[in-house]
Amino acid sequence: MKRISQLLLLCSALYSPAAYATPTPHTDGPSYRHDLLALHKNLVDIPSLSGTEEDAALFLQKYFRQQNYSVELQQIPAGLNSGSTTRYNVLAWPTAKKPSSADFKLLITSHIDVVPPYIPYKTTPSGPITSDTLISGRGSVDAKASVAAQLIALSALLSSESISPSDVMLLFVVGEETSGIGMKEFSRRSHRSSIKLSLFGGSSSSDDKLYRFASAIFGEPTENKLACGHKGITNGVIYSQGKAGHSGYPQLGKSANEVLVRSLHAILNTDLGSSERYGNTTVNIGVLEGGVAANVIPKSASARLAIRVASGSQKEGHKDVIAKIKDILKETDDEALSSEWFGGYGPVQCKCEVDGFETMVASYGTDVPNLDGDHTSYLYGPGSILVAHGDDEGLKVKDLEEAVEGYKKLILHVLGEGEVVVEQGDL
């Protein structure tokens, strides 16, 4: 692991010498603690809000090159780029030369974008790092903790020759927190090898390959439990159209707000689907707009919804929910109400029957449904989603270290290489 420490320090220097001091670890942890915390800090220190992930991708590119991995940056086409900078997915292989084969037993993947606002890296309390030290900052959980733990786990297994490097491919994508564009673009390119025309005209890259994986491990905050799956999602807008008028004479107009409120009340009180594993389908009314003044009957109104889908198939579950809501709108006021929907998917199943892991079911979305192909999906990572997007995003050192051991165990399970010996520290 000494070589990895040197490489991490070099990567830090290449990015910004002043900003990337490594925390001083305590001596009671596993041998990889220094490397893990250094990598995690370097990643969190780089602001990478969705749309501005370029620096994080370039850091990983340098990191992989210094470890003698082969690495590629997969640029997101300008027509799909919602950010102000160039955006790259990072593809890597733990071999000095990129494998000629596009078939791998395992894909290890997570995302490098984070939600706003940027929050600086911090450890609490100050002083020597222990297993109970709290590490906070934007991305410290979601999902740079997974990225760091995945890479250290893989490095440990390769160093001990427990796995073959030719069995594994790495993928770290942009845009998971918004549209999933990074994983969708990777899937689009890797499944169009026989189609050489780009979506935006011109020729496809000669580097595009039909990548296939037997299994994929997705890194997301699951509290170091193996997720059996997660709810689906669909997003939509409900529009209400009324007739403006003086509020003193409501009989002469039609309140778009009133019609919208009645429809939303009906939606919230309707069973939109449930299942034993995923619970109830839930509706979040995220944005309400309507009216121009208190004394004017509102002419138009709208509500933006995010719906977590708990029933049906991954392919059709969200469509069932949309159909039920459209029926509600029709029954409430067919003339005044309309809706617009932006795709989605039903509940997503992941494999969770692995010895030694507690299990859970997530209510948030991931990139699992955005990766095309016939593979087995695993969802696992350190930290809690309950703090992931908040001002208090953070996790303890022992959570990161537990994740390293969890990823090692999971990788060995997927590759059929037997059990891993857990390092003795304070896990």
Are the beta carbons of 308 and 196 closer than 8 angstroms? no
Taking the C-alpha atoms of residue 189 and residue 195, their distance in angstroms, rounded to an integer, is 9
Residues 6+ apart with CB under 8 A from 131: 26, 28, 29, 396, 397, 398, 401, 425, 426, 427
The secondary element (H helix, E strand) that includes residue 388 is helix 385-388
263-271 long-range contacts, CB within 8 A, separation 24+: 263/238, 263/328, 263/329, 263/332, 263/333, 263/337, 264/238, 264/303, 266/328, 266/331, 266/332, 267/305, 267/325, 267/328, 270/324, 270/328
- Give the tokens for residue 128: 């020597």
Token pair 């003193």: residue: 248
Question: Among residues 183, 176, 165, 185, which one has the least CA distance to residue 142?
Answer: 176
- Give the tokens for residue 88: 């790259």
Are the beta carbons of 383 and 145 closer than 8 angstroms? yes
Task: Reduce the secondary structure of 129-168 to three states and give it as a string.
Answer: ECCCCEEECCCCCCCHHHHHHHHHHHHHHHHCCCCCHHHE
Candidates 53, 72, 161, 176; catalytic one: 176
Apex CA 350: angle with CA 349 and CA 356, to 5°?
140
176: annotated active-site residue: yes
Known catalytic residues? 176
